[in-house]
Amino acid sequence: MNKRELKPAAVFEQFAKINEIPRPSKHEEKMIEYLKNWGESRGLDTKVDETGNVIIRKAATPGYENRKTVILQSHMDMVCDKLVDVEFDFDRDPIRTYIDGEWLTAEGTTLGADDGIGCAIELAILDSNDVEHGPIECVFTRDEETGLSGAEGMKAGFMTGDYLINLDSEDEGEIFVSCAGGRNTTAKFTFQREQADGLFFLRGQLKGLVGGHSGDDINKKRANAIKLLGRFLYQTMKRYEGVRLAQFHSGKLHNAIPRDGEFVIGVPSAVKENVKADWNVFAAQVEDEFHVTDTTMVWTMESADAQPVIEAGVAQNFVRALQAIDNGIYAICQDEALGGMVETSSNIASVHTEENVINILSSQRSNVMSNLDNMCATIVATFEQAGAEAWSSDGYPAWKMRPGSKLTEIVRDTYKELFGKDPIVRGIHAGLECGLFSERYPDLDMVSFGPTLRFVHTPDERLHIPTVQMVWDHLLLVLKRIPQK
């Protein structure tokens, strides 16, 4: 399969243009300008709100003027992550894509299909002359990935439609009708550095983990680099006296499972070979523990330059907190209609040491807001007990399933008509902007679906090409079946 065979061509042409535009979260100015100029150049009603969200309206095609208005919605920003040895500037360079069998992926970086492919579908519909539809509003929100601030800042009345189809889901054949709410919890240890004479310094590095989305992939038992490195440090400090911590770095994004990390420790010279041997044993044990999900772990330990270390008491409390902190699934949803999905979870996402501070970021998710509060309180209490300052953000709300949804019925029936099977209708344990929309637009009937993506939020992100055509065909039939006002 080559790029000339990518279908639907109209969608992939738009996606290629989008991937030439830098659009990191919170820095979507070039994409906003592109969308504004794109809509206005075609004579379409185009507006940008105070937050930077863009809406482009298109009138109904002949014969569909009396249909209810449909909102198509995607977010314009992308997660920016790359392999450590890849030179790439996300503020300037276009994403370099290539085809790998039936998959589209990028050269050492995130692909941006989350949610650039949703934006491309919207633009292809706006640009078409042969798609039949009622009035449509195409909405492109900013900064979904790092706080949903675009949806948060959208005022009531910016959208005026009756139905909303969010194009930010990642499993073709699955229709999402609810999502988790989420919050971030931050912790900060402060300390003074000390000189540590007579120690031998070692740098332990771990890379090659699969990582993934901290919501949608949290049920896949993938290894978390922070937790693994913390486990080794905990057992090492328990086993040997005089081990001192100098550095700990792992993770980049609040919504990703960390794939790599490193620490620097000083150890008494008499036990340095023991620590190296322990590292090799630990690596083998962990590789066996995660032999299904993470098959490309790379463990290295080498000598490091002598350097000032973190206060002993602070370092010990920090390592104990890493060992103790909840990570992964906390509760499974008991609502049969949602199919036993994850209800509540936590992911420790990044840890970085500075001269006198250790900064820790984690994310919590739940479809039950009271349990989200409880999970955040558990994480805060763990760090507070270790002597850190800790707090949780306001976050975003869950989107609850709408009983008797007419849009869900239409989407389900048209899918079966096209493909001869029922779609899976369920909730998702990730945050969608539908949660915030449901607060400002309580009468809005919403669903979410999209083509299949894998390894989102990582440099392995890939888009399953055949499912783009399936989603396109499905969406076009849905638009034709929207009822009259």
Enzyme catalytic residues? 77, 144
Alpha carbon distance 376, 229 (integer Å): 23
Alpha carbon distance 209, 222 (integer Å): 8
Please list the helix, strand and coil fractions of the chain in percent, rounded to the nearest 5, in that order. Answer: 30, 30, 40
Question: Residues 6 or more apart from 52 whose CB is under 8 A from it?
Answer: 28, 29, 32, 142, 143, 150, 153
* CA 319 to mean position of chain CA atoms: 26
Alpha carbon distance 249, 268 (integer Å): 22
Alpha carbon distance 43, 27 (integer Å): 27
Alpha carbon distance 126, 136 (integer Å): 9
Question: Nearest to residue 169, comparing CAs of 467, 479, 473, 478?
Answer: 467
The amino acid occupying position 195 is Q
Question: Nearest to residue 344, comparing CAs of 324, 363, 323?
Answer: 363
Alpha carbon distance 313, 419 (integer Å): 62
Question: Residues 6 or more apart from 242 whose CB is under 8 A from it?
Answer: 199, 267, 268
The amino acid occupying position 458 is T
Question: Nearest to residue 358, comparing CAs of 249, 263, 267, 253?
Answer: 249
Question: Residues 6 or more apart from 239 whose CB is under 8 A from it?
Answer: 278
Alpha carbon distance 166, 428 (integer Å): 13
Q: Which two tokens stand for residue 234?
A: 């905990």
Q: Which two tokens stand for residue 298?
A: 């790379």
Parallel, antiparallel or unpaired: strands 424-428 and 389-392: unpaired
Question: Residues 6 or more apart from 381 whose CB is under 8 A from it?
Answer: none
- 131: enclosing H helix or E strand: none
